[in-house]
Amino acid sequence: MAIQYIGINRGQQSTDVASGTSTTGRQIELTVNDGVGITRKEVLDSLDKLRDFIVNTRATPFAQ
C-alpha cells in the first residue's frame, strides 16, 4: 500500500504544495492511497465531490 500526502498552508499558491510519502505537516492535507490502482481521473473526480461537499456544508468546520 502506497500512501501519498499532498498538503498546503492557507494563503499559499499551487507552487507551494508539498507532497510525499509521509505527512506534509501543512494546514490542509489530502491523503491518497495509490496502492489500490486509483487513476488520476478518479482522484480528480473525487476532489470535485469533496469540493462540492465543502461548498454546500454549513456545519463546522465549514460554517464560514
Calculate the average pLDDT of the chain.
90
Three-state DSSP class for residue 25: coil
Torsion, Cα 48 29 26 33, to 10 degrees, reads -130
Give the start-to-end residue ranges of the domains of the chain: 3-56
Mean pLDDT of 28-46: 92
* Mean pLDDT calculated for residue range 22-45: 92
10, pLDDT greater than 70: yes
Query: Coil, strand, or helix at residue 38?
Result: coil
Residue reference for cell 499551487: 14
Q: Kindly state the average pLDDT of the residues 49-62.
A: 83
Spatial separation of the C-alpha atoms in residues 11 and 34, rounded to whole Å: 27
Query: Average of pLDDT values for 21-40?
Result: 91
Identity of the residue numbered 52: D
pLDDT at 39: 93
pLDDT at position 59 over 90? no
